[in-house]
Structure 1
Amino acid sequence: MKRSTIFLCVSFCMGVIMGSAGQGNTEQWPAFSADLTPPAPDYSRVEYWAALPSIKDKADEVPKRSKGLKDLQAEAKADVFFVHPTIYTYEPTTKYIWNGDVTDAELNKKVEESTILNQASVFNAAGKIYAPRYRQAHFFCYYTSQKKDAAKAFDLAYNDVKSAFEYYLTHYNQGRPIIIAAHSQGTQHAKRLLKEYFDGKPLQKQLVIAYLIGMPIPANYFSQIRPAISAEQTGGFATWCTYAKDYYPLEYENEQYKSLVVNPLTWDTTSVYAERKLNKGGVGLGYKMTSVGVVDAQRHEGMLWIGKPHILGAGLLHTKNWHVADYNLFWMNVRENAVLRVEAFLRNYSGKLPSE
């Protein structure tokens, strides 16, 4: 398979801009208010979902140049509730500055063609994918000095995710095993959702795994949900934030160093170096499958460090923060692991599945 400079433009592929994350900003926006809040989504209507098993959407795709991969949602015995990252990164063109409008066709298209295609689709061999549209907080919220306004925007976004999950539980789940998967802002909301609905609650028995990627999460963040430290462990959570080897991000001293790291090449939390030969393939620009062995990985003090991807033109790469490629760099490893954990869960399932 021909390799190309697939990750040179990965930030454009994913539609996420992270260059200013963690930095202060002196720009002032009008205070958060009801008048600046877009209408709430109605999750009984399919248009308020970016992905549903019952409709054709980008989560049904498999990468170009992949061999033998298929969308297996129709026969899946588990569900995947996926919470997408921040795609509302551009300058607002309406009065809805703090939170994205779920009826905005342009924003919805960006969500579908970036995160749903590149990230949510990784799970279509493991479960039926449910990905709500929600009034995501604008990227500005992460580095503005208007912290109280930003907190209100994040709360609004979380309440949408919560409403979508409650609708999903009532109308779709029917007691099936659940994978919670998310990235970046999505992880911020998903970890809150897990605390409220799963951690030490009856619903925890349905949790296959939580992939909480792209945000630092301490190993002891939950009271009952434990870190997943082996490839087939179920009921736990896995997380990582990807950076170039020897790089320390601005947020390192504040919270990154405290984070759990599960290496997606080994699915453990050791600091043992994982050679790139363990990488089963990534997904790059144009949603194309890469060769195996695209990148190595090693846990280091709350970060997942990688060397330069093994691609043509790697010498030109100077990327330090690989946040936008947290999933893409390890795409096949995540896909196969999700299937493996569902199989392990079903073997150990104490009850009878609704479909049986």
Structure 2
Amino acid sequence: MVQNKAVIFIFILCIPLLLIGQDIKIDYSNPDNWAALPDKIDNADLVPGNYTTDKQPDSQVDVFFLYPTSFSNKSDIMIWNAAIDDKEVNQDTDERSIKNQASIFNQVGKIYAPRYRQANYAAYFDEDKIRSQQAFDFAYADVVDAFEYYINHYNKGRPFIIASHSQGSTHSMRLIKEYIENTKLAKQLVVAYVVGMPVPASYLNTPPCLSPGQTGCICSWRTYLDKYEPDHVASEEKMISTNPITWDQSSGFSNKKDHKGSVLFDFDKGIYPKIMRAELHGNILWIKKPDIKGKILLQRKNYHIGDFNLFYKDVQENAKLRVDNYLNQNNSSSN
């Protein structure tokens, strides 16, 4: 009897893995299956320090946002994809990424952030590449379903921004390639912020953004401390790399005065401007330590967790500029 119970327990734990490849779709007509929607009260509505108000209701563009990994089950029997209604995972997603990243765009557009059955963090490092790819494919299938639902029921031909971080960017670059490029949707793309993952310049036809106001292009960066370069970077092919302070390809470190502002440890304390300097170093972004009290205690070399937060206001203001340019260009061409 004990042995039979153990078998049943193992089977239950493995259900998410067994579901991979099965035609079990998420109902995206249900608002519960979205971490953020313009007409839903959610953490994408929040403003750091309450310095202004959520401007989604008046926005002329949309933002389709894909959040990073918040699922890292570390049990002996690995669950490779999160359940769509996992309360712990969803709460972590909402309190971290939706609050601190997606909210950047509530001054710019209407935010649509679908919940998806994200791959386990361990899938990035698993030696079984077939198994890990299955986990990512399973998550990506949800992303596709959500995007198609968004286009067919919410978008109504409006221009849109793609924004993503980490695992979200793993999926968004594939989404751009397979569902936006070479379709009529390409003309609706204002800009894509595909952040926290390497984006090969050869993978996409959509060009990299080379100036602050360029539209129909891709921005991407991975943030590390000055003078640090992970071993794998040296062997990489050419990646899209953007400086999220200067928004161009200029060399050397940016000036602190040009930094619009970070959101740091406490969202409610607001924006910290003029504390960051950044420069492009090949495929990655180098920064100086944030100029804050206690910075000497910061020992981090990899600032992946802060890819968006360190440049919160910079991204927000840049998105406004690109939106304004897009709308002006398209209003002129239609007259």
The answer to whether the 8 Å contact 1:179/1:209 transfers is yes
Give, as a single letter, the amino acid of the residue that structure 2 aligns with 1:192: R
1:280 to 260, 265, 274: 260
Q: Which residue of 2 aligns with 1:180?
A: 162
In 2, distance between residues paired with 1:215 and 1:131?
19
Aligned AA (1:171): H
Name 1:87's counterpart in structure 2. 70
Give 1:316's aligned residue.
297
Match for 2:120 among 129, 132, 138?
138
Say if 1:46 and 1:351 are closer, same or farther in 2 by CA, change over 3 A: farther
**Percent of paired sites with the same residue:** 44
1:261 aligns with 2:241: yes
Superposed displacement of residue 196, structure 1 = 1.0
Shift of 1:217: 1.1
* SS state at 2:133 partner: helix
Deviates further, 144-153 or 31-40: 31-40
Distance 1:351 1:171 in 2: 28
Per-residue deviation, 1:245: 0.4
Q: Check whether the contact 1:37–1:99 (CA below 8 A) recurs between aligned residues.
A: no
Alignment of 1:331-346 (within 5 A): 331-346=312-327
What's the CA shift for 1:63? 0.4
Aligned pair 1:56/2:38, yes or no? no
1:303-353 alpha-carbon deviations (Å, 9 max, x no partner): 100011101111111110000000000100001111111111100116999
CA distance in 1, matches of 2:198, 2:250: 17
Secondary structure, aligned partner of 2:48 = coil
Amino acid at match of 2:68: P
- C-alpha change, 1:351 and 1:79, in structure 2 (3 Å) is farther
TM-score normalized with structure 2 length: 0.90
Give the conservation status (yes or no) of the 8 Å contact 1:294–1:329.
Answer: no
Equivalent of residue 188 in structure 2, options 177, 201, 206: 206
**In the aligned structure 2, how far is the partner of 1:351 from the partner of 1:92?**
57
SS of alignment partner, residue 162 of structure 2:
strand
Residues 176 and 330 of structure 1, relative CA distance in 2, 3 Å threshold:
same
Stretches of structure 2 lacking an aligned partner (at least 5 in a row): 1-12
Structure having the higher helix fraction is 2
Offset from partner CA, 1:55-111 (integer Å, 9 cap, x none):
1000000002x53x2210000000000000111124259x77000111111111111
SS of equivalent residue, structure 2 residue 228: coil
1:43 paired to 2:28? yes
> What secondary structure does 1:150 align onto?
helix
Looking at structure 2, the residues matched to 168 and 227 of structure 1 have their Cα atoms a distance apart, in angstroms, of: 25
One of 82, 102, 120 as aligned partner of 1:100? 82
Change in 2 beyond 3 A, CA 1:35/1:194: closer
Larger mean Cα displacement after TM superposition, 300-309 or 290-299: 290-299
Taking the TM superposition and a 5 Å limit, the aligned residue runs for 1:1-356 are 33-35=17-19, 40-64=25-49, 67=51, 69-91=52-74, 97-223=79-205, 225-255=206-236, 258-287=238-267, 288-349=269-330
CA contact (8 A) 2:271 2:313 kept: no
Deviation at 1:220, TM superposition (A): 3.2
Residues in 2 aligned to 1:343 and 1:84: alpha-carbon distance in whole angstroms: 25
Amino acid at match of 2:56: Q
After TM superposition, the score normalised by the length of structure 1 is 0.85
The Cα offsets for residues 188-213 of structure 1, whole Å up to 9 and x where unpaired, read as 10000001122122110000000000
Q: 2:16 and 2:95 mapped to 1: Cα distance?
A: 29
Mapped partners of 1:248, 1:344: distance in 2: 35
Output one character per residue of 1:130-181: Cα deviation in whole Å (capped at 9) or x when no partner.
0000000000001111111000000001110000000000000000001000
Query: What is the match of residue 10 of structure 2?
Result: none
Q: C-alpha separation between the residues in 1 aligned to 2:182 and 2:158?
A: 18
More contact order relative to length (CA 8 Å, sep ≥ 6): 1
Q: Give the conservation status (yes or no) of the 8 Å contact 1:84–1:183.
A: yes
Structure 1 unaligned segments of length 5 or more: list them: 1-28
Match of 2:222, as an amino acid? C
Report the aligned-residue RMSD: 2.2
Task: Give the deviation of 1:115 after TM superposition.
Answer: 0.2
The 3 A distance-change label for structure 1 pair 172 and 96 is farther
Residues 281 and 289 in structure 1, CA contact (< 8 A), matched pair in contact too = no
